[in-house]
Structure 1
Amino acid sequence: MEDGAGPVKKSERAGEGGSLRQFRQERQYEAVRRAAEEQKYSVTEACRALHISRAGYYQWRSGRASTRTVENRRLAGLVKNIHAKDPDKGYRRIRDDLARYYGTPINDKRALRICRSLGVRSTIKYARHGCTRLASDPQFLAENVLDRQFYAEKPNEKWLTDVTEFKYYVGPSVHKLYLSAILDLYDRRIVSFVLRDANDSALVHETLDQALAADPDAHPLFHSDRGFQYTTRVFHDKLAAAGMTQSMSRVGKCIDNGPIEGFWGILKRERYYGRKFTSREQLCRMIREYIAYYNFNRLQRRLGVHTPMEVFTQYRAA
């Protein structure tokens, strides 16, 4: 989103809330001091009346920050650095980064409190507008063999595929770019992907060819929606020749292909929505770099706070 005048954002209000709470606490401590020194009240009674900690008051009077306060300030600096580098990250992913890359494990609640005090929030997910065009006259339809069993016991056991659409601008003209990808359900890695200007059969054929070239011995269950590219006899024959079983989502059931639909949402939320790409090269570079980041550097809790390629490599090593 662009900066400028307008309504105050929730993230800004959250940051202001942290400052207001600190200011209110300072006033309470000052009130206790005045009550004790000027009106001869007991510090204990004054703190009890204002519902604040007596230890906290004495810490404030000493002028020395507590160990926890110092640590929270250090953590806040790390959180700011992580958020500045990747504004799409919310408190959970920031907590995972702190533990993995900064050697600072904390729990989710503490990470959330620090993020709220700084006004740090993850990017809001936009509504998805898919580009799938169902075949009007399909040559081959497969059953939903996958049946939403979104897990696998080893790599190359189950592959999911789909196509999504991006836009870029050259002057006033709007152009489209299509991304086809194959996702492995075991480690959630992107096995192969292809970018083309046309959403056609050649796009998905090339994606499959790349995956087979990378691992000729793979014979997975191959799941897709009922897009026109996947329902041709030629594509079915390519899968059969590679020793793959074809599976297709039911009509109007996007969740049947949920994991790769989810990957589109992650990619677009973290790198595409809210930005304007002014050349094909710029958009292609973003997608290529993001997929490399996703495979090799993006931690996932469903993978035990590992990256897809770490899980894949660990299996191969074992």
Structure 2
Amino acid sequence: MYSYEKKSIALKVFHQTNSVSETIRILGYPTRRQLYSWIDDENLPSKERKPLPRIANSPEHPRNPPLDVKLDAIKRCFEHGESIKYVSEDIGYSRASIYQWRKQYLKKGTLGLMNRKNIPSGELKEGYRQSDSTTESSPEVAELKAQMLEMQMEIDILKETINVLKKDPGIDQTSLRNKEKAVIIDVLKAKYSLPCLLEKLNISKSSYYYQEKVLSQPDKYLSLRIHIKELFAENKNRYGYRRIHALLKREGITISEKIIRRIMKEENLSVKVKKAAKYNSYAGEVSPAVPNEINRNFFAEKPNIKWLTDITEFAIPAGKVYLSPIVDCFDGLLVTWEIGISPDAALVNTMLDDAINQLSSEEKPIIHSDRGVHYRWPGWIERMDKAGLTRSMSKKGCSPDNSACEGVFGRIKNEMFYNTDWTGVSIPDFIEILNNYLVWYNELRIKKSLGYMSPMEYRRSLRLAA
């Protein structure tokens, strides 16, 4: 029968060497079968373990150990960094007991670790913490207590940084603004002294009280904050701070873009963006390609000089929907569009017929596309030749050659399609929603490049449209 100490030493050596043979070679005991038995017993849940030779309720090993045993265990585990498992085996008390002792120590100090029968009755009140001069048994224990309280303070500050300020767990607390630090101090100052919190968060007392004064004042941007939220909601969460600034300027409200950006950040008013794979219509060289007449020069001095086209796909639970528009390089106006459930020749040809009908006899725009099969079939080529329009094509697999059109698709999907649950929406309903958005895109959606006017407003300002 091996003693408890020998069993503990054998298990420690095994965990260090991770070898049964090496453990037996070093110690000269036990047998391989016995060591495997100890290892298996160690890995069992506490209720299923075999009783150890050392009885936990014997005079040498009382159920509630002396104060110095508890303090020594806490110091070894939480100051010196020893394994709680090894300390538990060494002193003969469970790991749960050590954690419980630490919890009691953090809550009530040394008083919480003492046996109740050894504590004077006048001191057994909740939350009572004896002074260091009467309870601490040594300077080392006092130092340990201070270190543990400081560690707990750091944990609490991190918790409030995550829960109250909604920061990432890995945030560097020194990078917090004084206003944010003041908020954390307000939450924790009932638990910790103000000087300790100020020192830990590296903020001066005067700065803290200044932030307190600022936080206690009414929000001078309250009405503006409400109006910004209304504008953001009216435009279906599609406008960033620049377009919100332009809308406010239209209403005669002069305010800095920085203030609008800050308010929108505080209110979590952000335009959600998602990337997705683009629909590809390339099906090989079914007919000779034509030169790239646009050559990435998407500037046009007037309407109906340069047109861009492509097809994009919208996949919803009910099926797939395809959009084929024509974009005017002059101002980004959608000259026309066709929406269907199949990316076939009828989709693009119908769109082209409608666009040609809007041209005067003198207008002969260049129509630029990718090398998709739709723009190389006889029907498309015949319509282009009959109307006297010029074909232009991107290089194979070179999306920047048609980047202006790709940008329009990206804005449409970011503002209307992504981050929306389309479950239960039928294809006809989706087509109606998409069509309404495209009308809004032409008539109301403001663009920075157009002086924060929509394409139709811009053309009316130039007397190019009624």
TM-score of the alignment, normalized to the shorter chain, above 0.5: yes
Q: Structure 2 matches for 1:259-278, cutoff 5 A?
A: 259-275=404-420, 276-277=422-423, 278=425
Q: What is the Cα deviation at residue 215 of structure 1?
A: 2.6
Q: What is the Cα deviation at residue 189 of structure 1?
A: 0.5
Q: What is the Cα deviation at residue 303 of structure 1?
A: 1.2
Q: Structure 2 matches for 1:274-289, cutoff 5 A?
A: 274-275=419-420, 276-277=422-423, 278-289=425-436
The counterpart of 1:79, out of the listed 216, 220, 228, is 228
Q: Which residue of 1 aligns with 2:369?
A: 224
Residue 192 (1) aligns with residue 351 (2): no
Q: Which residue of 2 aligns with 1:165?
A: 313
Seen in structure 2, the aligned counterparts of structure 1 residues 213 and 53 have a Cα distance that, compared at 3 Å, is: farther
Residue 252 (1) aligns with residue 397 (2): yes
CA contact (8 A) 1:146 1:247 kept: yes
Corresponding letter in the other structure for 1:311: Y
Q: What is the Cα deviation at residue 26 of structure 1?
A: 9.8
- In 1, Cα distance between the equivalents of 2:407 and 2:359? 24
Q: Structure 2 matches for 1:140-219, cutoff 5 A?
A: 140-170=288-318, 175-217=319-361, 218-219=363-364
- In 2, Cα distance between the equivalents of 1:13 and 1:242? 60
The counterpart of 1:103, out of the listed 245, 252, 255, is 252
Corresponding letter in the other structure for 1:274: N
Seen in structure 2, the aligned counterparts of structure 1 residues 243 and 312 have a Cα distance that, compared at 3 Å, is: farther
- In 1, Cα distance between the equivalents of 2:209 and 2:385? 71
Give 1 or 2 for the bigger CA radius of gyration.
2
Query: TM-score if structure 1 supplies the norm length?
Result: 0.77
Seen in structure 2, the aligned counterparts of structure 1 residues 22 and 208 have a Cα distance that, compared at 3 Å, is: farther
Corresponding letter in the other structure for 1:51: S
Structure 2 segments unaligned to the other structure (5+ residues):
1-161, 168-175, 195-202
Give deviations 1:12-67, integer Å, cap 9, x for gaps: 938xx99x73963995xx9xxxx9xxxxxxxxxxx98523797x88788xx864xx
CA contact (8 A) 2:308 2:328 kept: yes
Seen in structure 2, the aligned counterparts of structure 1 residues 23 and 204 have a Cα distance that, compared at 3 Å, is: same
Number of matched residues? 276
Give deviations 1:228-279, integer Å, cap 9, x for gaps: 0001243223112212111101111111111111111111111111221520
Give deviations 1:190-247, integer Å, cap 9, x for gaps: 0000111211111111111111122344311110000000012432231122121111
Q: Which residue of 1 aligns with 2:150?
A: none
For 1:204, what is the secondary structure of its paired residue? helix
For 2:228, what is the secondary structure of its paired residue? helix
Q: What is the Cα deviation at residue 155 of structure 1?
A: 0.5
Residue 122 (1) aligns with residue 122 (2): no
More deviation, 288-297/238-247: 238-247
For 1:114, what is the secondary structure of its paired residue? helix
CA contact (8 A) 1:166 1:178 kept: yes
Kindly report the root-mean-square deviation, in angstroms, between the aligned alpha carbons of the 2 structures: 3.0
Q: What is the Cα deviation at residue 294 of structure 1?
A: 0.6
Seen in structure 2, the aligned counterparts of structure 1 residues 26 and 75 have a Cα distance that, compared at 3 Å, is: farther
Q: Which residue of 1 aligns with 2:110?
A: none
CA contact (8 A) 1:178 1:199 kept: yes
Percent of aligned pairs sharing the same letter: 29
The counterpart of 2:459, out of the listed 284, 303, 312, is 312
Query: TM-score if structure 2 supplies the norm length?
Result: 0.54
- In 2, Cα distance between the equivalents of 1:22 and 1:79? 27
CA contact (8 A) 2:182 2:208 kept: no
Q: Of Structure 1 and Structure 2, which has the larger fraction of its residues in strand?
A: 1
Q: What is the Cα deviation at residue 302 of structure 1?
A: 1.1
CA contact (8 A) 2:303 2:330 kept: yes
The counterpart of 1:24, out of the listed 171, 183, 200, is 183
More deviation, 220-229/85-94: 85-94
- In 2, Cα distance between the equivalents of 1:58 and 1:294? 45
For 1:182, what is the secondary structure of its paired residue? strand
CA contact (8 A) 1:140 1:232 kept: no
For 1:13, what is the secondary structure of its paired residue? coil
Residue 295 (1) aligns with residue 442 (2): yes
- In 2, Cα distance between the equivalents of 1:23 and 1:78? 28
Select the structure with the greater relative contact order (CA < 8 A; seq sep ≥ 6).
Answer: 1
CA contact (8 A) 1:135 1:231 kept: no
CA contact (8 A) 2:349 2:379 kept: no
- In 2, Cα distance between the equivalents of 1:123 and 1:176? 22
- In 1, Cα distance between the equivalents of 2:379 and 2:183? 70
Q: Which residue of 1 aligns with 2:53?
A: none
CA contact (8 A) 1:224 1:230 kept: yes
